[in-house]
Chains A and B, each alone.
Chain A
Amino acid sequence: MTTKLVVGLDGHASGERALDFAVNQARLIGDCGLVVAYVIEWSPFSFHSAEENAQRHKRREEEISTVMTRVIEPAVRKLEKLGLSVTGKVRHGDVADTLNAIAKEQKAAQIIVARSSEGGFSSRIFGSSTFNLVKSADLPVTVVQ
């Protein structure tokens, strides 16, 4: 049975480090498939103007397309060149919850993410997505430096 690893990307160098680590793990495992995922931070309980709501579907499609083009597709191409089996996913939602949900859907063995490099004021108060994922994930999480 193919082992699956979910890799959380963030469009930054930290995500690349997580991806490199996942590639090494996949080679060590052998029969391994990778799922590269990007979660666009979104909450169903945020506030918008009526005009923003009217354009929301359009914006959502644009956001998914941008992430696909700039982050997911380059990552997928890179891994395919290395001969690895890979699929890409883009979702909206809470980063920690959504990565966990993707991993469960894919019956993954573990989630690999990078330690957040941009720990601003809010992440100090409320905790970073990585920290929240480690706290709440239903399966093992590897945090790459």
Chain B
Amino acid sequence: MIRHMLAPALALLAATPAAAQEALSLDARVNEIFAQATGPFVNFIFAPFYGTNFPWIVMWLVVAATVFTLYFGFVQFRFFGHAIRLVKGDYSDPEDAGEVSHFQALATALSGTVGLGNIAGVAVAVGIGGPGATFWMILAGLLGMASKFTECTLGVKYRNEYEDGTVSGGPMYYLSKGFRELGLPGGGFLAVLFSIFCILGALGGGNMFQANQAHAQISGIVGDYPGWITGLVFAFVVFLVIVGGIRSIARVTEKIVPFMGILYVGAALIILIVEYDKIGWAFGQIFAGAFSGLGVAGGLVGALIQGFKRAAFSNEAGVGSAAIAHSAVRTKEPITEGFVSLLEPLIDTVVICTMTALVITISGQLIMDPETGRFVLDEAGAIATVDGNTGVALTSAAFAEGISWFPYVLAIAVVLFAFSTMISWSYYGLKAWTYLFGEGRVKELVFKLIFCAFVVVGAAANLGPVIDFSDAAIFSMAVVNIFGLYFLMKIVRRELGSYSKRLRGGQIVAYKS
């Protein structure tokens, strides 16, 4: 139906077969130039350890999350209940009513992370690494809670509060100020480096990947058409919001996105309840695949790499982006936002990503050899799927097995998630941009126009180069951020010790019981 309704509009845009051919070849040219330009950067970030196929960047993230977990004594579990009470507002001073609450800071950060990573990213992980990737994804999510705690505490502690009442925070501020406070050199350099990578991350994972997958989803429903058309439409709407200041569009999205998130989780739950008899089998696949690989490329290591990669891409723990979003909260105790932020990887990865993975596993979309119980691989080395789907199309097909009309809802959800993530990342990128070049209307406009242009490139390019660049850009932020966190984590431990003591001693009391 929708295909028929949109067909005339698309026909107008690609009036003749020759024009359509030219348009598609334009996509191919954009893709080729983009892949060539970003190749060396991508290759460096994903370079494996010598003699192995294990990317050093994945190890970098996992080791950091493990170090923070141990260093803070499993803070993600010890303070989980306290984090919930903070989000509920039990410790919020009534005098601060009207300021940014813990819930609002968390919700804003989540709107930048919950999205395509949970829908398309998980499908990529499970499609290449098999169901076993889910196990490593959950583990990465649990460990990543400690990374998020560390960076968000610092984000609030070292934010800039300007005279006009606005705030700016994030790794660029805590790297420069924190290092200076400790008398360490190089903080300013790290802040600049982080800002450069943050701009690339904003243009990659926060923009191109979103536009790319939104186009894949729309063309899956209305039929194939050139990606730059989706790109132009998206770029125009993003332009209206971030340049035109038309906040009503962003406001409507802010209201709908949480609803779509609940709808997505609800649909996954319904499918899991209906297929409850397969849940035990699916978890069996997840555990078996986690340690044996069940025939996926790279075996155990292949599943592990995919799980860790996609978890990091989805929840952004250690990347530093969340520290920008969380830094606006109103609190006298920076560490309280750290506690709240540790819920983010839990919701994003442990809950939502796991649900997506279970639905895909149960759906039977991944082709398995019934005789050997191992997955059948396609020419590219990924697991063969029933209709050859990858990414968001695989998730869509998996949900359609349970709820036939759900792909339409998912398409709307993907477009809205993509849009809200773009708006969030345009802000993160802008903060990094203004850190480098200073504030000012013209300087900000330049970044915003570049951001809009990349929407078109992202929608026109193929998934492969876009996803590689997006991952590389996001992970390069983590290289700088985590390096800095190792030096600054003792400040967080001091805050944690002081807060715990006062909480136990009754000096910090709840306003609501």
**A42 contacts B166, CB within 8 Å?**
no
> A115 at interface (Cβ–Cβ under 8 A)?
no
**B254 contacts A47, CB within 8 Å?**
yes
**B104 contacts A47, CB within 8 Å?**
yes
**B98 contacts A53, CB within 8 Å?**
no
Number of interface residues of B (CB under 8 A): 37
Considering the complex, give the chain B residue whose CB is closest to the CB of A45: B103
A136 shortest CB reach to chain B, Å: 16
> Which of A44, A53, A60 lies at the interface centre, i.e. has the most chain B CB atoms within 10 A of its CB?
A53
Of the candidates A48, A57, A93, which one forms a contact with B97 in the assembled complex, judged by CB atoms under 8 Å apart? A93
Considering the complex, give the chain A residue whose CB is closest to the CB of B111: A47
> A84 at interface (Cβ–Cβ under 8 A)?
no
Binding site secondary structure of chain B: helix
**B168 contacts A46, CB within 8 Å?**
no
> A56 at interface (Cβ–Cβ under 8 A)?
yes
Within 8 A of B (CB), among A40-91: 40, 42, 44-58, 60-61, 63-64, 91
> B439 at interface (Cβ–Cβ under 8 A)?
no
Known: A58-B165, A61-B165, A101-B94. A45 touches B258 (CB 8 A): no
**B89 contacts A44, CB within 8 Å?**
yes
**A47 contacts B258, CB within 8 Å?**
yes
**A53 contacts B100, CB within 8 Å?**
yes
Interface window among B19-27, B172-180, B422-430, B490-498? B422-430
> A92 at interface (Cβ–Cβ under 8 A)?
yes
Known: A56-B100, A56-B328. A49 touches B165 (CB 8 A): no
A37 shortest CB reach to chain B, Å: 13
Contact with A along B420-447 (1 / 0, CB 8 A): 0001100110000000000000000000
**A50 contacts B101, CB within 8 Å?**
no
**B427 contacts A49, CB within 8 Å?**
yes
> Which of B94, B97, B258 lies at the interface centre, i.e. has the most chain A CB atoms within 10 A of its CB?
B97
> Which of A45, A51, A92 lies at the interface centre, i.e. has the most chain B CB atoms within 10 A of its CB?
A51
Number of interface residues of A (CB under 8 A): 26
Contact partners of B105 in chain A: CB under 8 A:
53
Known: A44-B101, A92-B98. A50 touches B254 (CB 8 A): no
Contact with B along A122-136 (1 / 0, CB 8 A): 000000000000000
Within 8 A of A (CB), among B310-325: 324-325
**A44 contacts B108, CB within 8 Å?**
no
A56 to B250: give the CA distance in the assembly, Å: 16
Contact partners of A101 in chain B: CB under 8 A:
94
**A49 contacts B250, CB within 8 Å?**
yes
A45 to B255: give the CA distance in the assembly, Å: 11
Considering the complex, give the chain A residue whose CB is closest to the CB of B159: A54
Contact partners of A54 in chain B: CB under 8 A:
166-168, 328, 427
| Contacts A/B (CB < 8 Å), 17 sampled | A42-B98, A45-B103, A47-B108, A47-B255, A47-B257, A48-B108, A49-B423, A53-B105, A53-B108, A55-B166, A56-B98, A56-B328, A57-B99, A57-B165, A57-B167, A61-B165, A92-B98
Interface residues of B (CB under 8 A from A): 89, 92, 94, 97-105, 107-109, 111-112, 164-168, 247, 250, 254-255, 257-258, 324-325, 328-330, 423-424, 427-428
Q: A54-B167, A54-B427 are in contact. List 14 more A-B contacts (CB 8 A).
A: A44-B97, A44-B102, A45-B103, A49-B111, A49-B250, A49-B254, A49-B427, A50-B109, A50-B112, A54-B168, A54-B328, A91-B97, A92-B97, A93-B98
